[in-house]
A and B are shown apart, each in its own frame.
Chain A
Amino acid sequence: MNSSASKNKIFWALITLFIAGSWLLTFSFVSVWVAVSSGLSTAIAMVLIIDFARKQDDFDEFQDASLDEKTSPIDAIDEQLRSAIEPAKGEMNQLPKIDDLLTTMAGASERRRIDGLVGKWAELAKQFNAVKQHLDAQINEVINQSEDATDTIASSFKTVINKATLQASQAMNLLEGTQGATSDGSPQSLQDFIRVSDERLNKMADEVMRVADLSVKMVRDLDDVKDRTQAIDGFLLDVGKLADQTSLLALNADIEASRAGEAGRGFGIVAQEVRRLSKRSNVFSHEIRNHLRMVKNGLNATYSNMQTLTSKDMAHANNIKNEIMTLTKTLEDKNREVAETVSDINTISKEIAQDVQNVVISLQFHDIISQKLNSIAAPMDNLASEIDLLTNETHSLGLADSWNNNLAMQNQQKKSATNGSPQPASNNDGVSKDNAVPNSGPNVELF
């Protein structure tokens, strides 16, 4: 190895000489192209140095192996070079070792690479925080907007339902009024009105029928009176006949009295008186019969009138009753329609009640959505905590300024986010909800 080291030194000496010569040439010639060529030479020399450094070990091994066999000419050269280089050896030792130089360069490069990665990592953490803040803000906005909208819908719905309930109740009152009961016997509802009308009408019909019956009875009584007047007429006729016979007997008595002469003179006077009385009796009888005939005629007229009246009353009463019955039937139909409408309103009210239930259930969506959204944000909070831990740990390694700057910015961002809008997860316990043990219990349970 000693010989190999000496070879190295010889080589270095040659190279140094070469460089020195080149520089001499450079300084000797003023023209530019010479300077360029010397520069090129320097560059070539540097390339050769690096190339040589890479292959140095191989060359050393080769030298070690070969120098043992072939010594004579190389030894001579070596000796010459050694003597030439010896004076500069001290200075050569003071030059930095190429290995150290390369190690330092590689270390710097690795450091730069790590710095770069750390910078990217910090940038990623920063971006994540920005995204998280944006998402938090968006989630908050969605929750707030849906809350406002739900509140408006809920209060409008409440108003609408209250009005609908009031409307239905008023309609029911109105319609129930037509179906309602009486309080003081007077007809207050349509149904009641129909009932009372029917009662009054039946009473009226009964009265008419009773009057008609009385009329018939009266007609019969009149018949009896007629018969009796007829009998009186017969009696009066007999009375007239008796008067005529009495008058005839008085005439015969008067004739016989005249024939008896003076002895029958008084009897003749009695006979004349009897004849006069008989005539008067006959006149009375005629007058009575005339009067009786007039009474009979009057009775006949009354009988006829009463018959007409009775039949007309019955017909009229029947007509009125039929008309009122038709009206009553119409009213009853109307009343049935009203009852059906009441029933419809009741059905609609039940349907509205069912719809109200559905709306009440549906309007709870906001609360559920808010919790779901918050549970979406919760894993990000956990991730942010993890990132915090990692960034702090990285920070503790004491890396590049870029990292520390990023970290500082991140912390600043978090601080401002915390001071600004409230965190959406304020009313939830985070990821535990979605990752929780599924609910196995019933929807309603009394403990």
Chain B
Amino acid sequence: MATILTVDDTASMRQMIGFTLNDAGYEVTEAADGNEALAAARKSKFDAIITDINMPNMDGISLVRELRSLPEYKFTPILMLTTESQDSKRKESKEAGATGWIVKPFNPEQLLNVIKNVLN
């Protein structure tokens, strides 16, 4: 089954994403910010990444830029999962190379459908 890296500075969010994805049979690795995520991504290859935008140390958009600069993550699906409401951030994420945008609070079924789509 596919492996997914979830990045969020809020522990409960990580738990909810992990719970939803585990339940659907995905193997999930959690990271609390961009730096941790980048380290994890360098350590092992993930099939998809779900990241928050507003995080300490390294935000989600910077993380996308960093990941896209790595050859093995050039085409990996990266979804932004955020409470961010600015269209400018959405545009910035798209330009950074994000695959999609999901607004919090996420609906588990919707999240799974999106993951299924991007993995296919």
Contact = CB atoms under 8 A, between A and B. Distances in A.
Interface of A: 147, 150-151, 153-155, 158, 161, 356-357, 360-368, 370-371, 426-429, 432-433, 436-441, 443-447
Contacts, number: 109
Given A147-B12, A155-B15, A446 B114 contact: yes
B68 to A, nearest CB: 13
Contacts of A161: 19
B19 A428 contact: no
Given A364-B12, A437-B87, A439-B86, 10 more contacts: A150-B11, A153-B12, A361-B107, A364-B13, A364-B104, A367-B104, A444-B101, A444-B103, A445-B101, A447-B101
16 contacts: A154-B11, A161-B19, A357-B109, A360-B19, A360-B20, A361-B105, A361-B106, A361-B107, A363-B15, A432-B86, A439-B87, A443-B110, A446-B99, A446-B118, A447-B93, A447-B101
B85 A444 contact: no
A433 B87 CA distance: 11
A140 to B, nearest CB: 14
A356 B109 CA distance: 10
Contact of A433 (B10, B86, B100): B86
Contacts of B104: 364, 367-368
Given A445-B90, A446-B117, A439 B103 contact: yes
Contact of A154 (B15, B94, B102): B15
Interface string B1-14: 00000001111110
A447 B102 contact: no
A364 B16 contact: yes
Nearest to A154: B15
A4 B110 CA distance: 100
Nearest to B103: A443
Given A158-B19, A427-B55, A446-B99, A441 B90 contact: yes
Contact of A368 (B88, B105, B108, B114): B105
A360 B16 contact: yes
A188 to B, nearest CB: 29
Contact of A158 (B15, B54, B83, B84): B15
Contacts of B15: 151, 154-155, 158, 363
Contact of A447 (B8, B19, B94, B103): B94
Contacts of B85: 433, 436, 438-439
A362 B83 CA distance: 14
A362 B117 CA distance: 25
B56 interface: yes
Contacts of A433: 84-86
B48 interface: no
Interface in B49-103: 54-56, 83-88, 90, 93-94, 98-103
Interface of B: 8-13, 15-16, 19-20, 23, 54-56, 83-88, 90, 93-94, 98-110, 114, 117-118
Contacts of B105: 361-362, 364-365, 368
B87 A426 contact: no
A429 B84 CA distance: 10
A427 B9 contact: yes
A425 to B, nearest CB: 10
Contacts of B9: 427
B56 A363 contact: no
B44 to A, nearest CB: 24
Contacts of B11: 147, 150-151, 154
Nearest to B89: A436
Given A357-B107, A360-B108, A150 B98 contact: no
Contacts of A155: 15
Contacts of A426: 56
Nearest to B55: A427
Contacts of A437: 86-88
B100 A427 contact: no
Contacts of B118: 446
B106 A364 contact: yes
Contacts of A356: 23, 108
Nearest to A435: B86
Contacts of B114: 444, 446
A446 B100 contact: yes
Nearest to B53: A429
A436 B54 CA distance: 15
B90 to A, nearest CB: 6
Contact of B101 (A151, A364, A365, A441): A441
A367 B100 CA distance: 20
Contacts of A362: 105
Contacts of A360: 16, 19-20, 106, 108
A369 B106 CA distance: 15
Nearest to A359: B16
Chain A CB count within 10 A is highest, among B9, B11, B83, B93, for B83
Given A155-B15, A364-B16, A357 B108 contact: yes
A154 B22 CA distance: 14
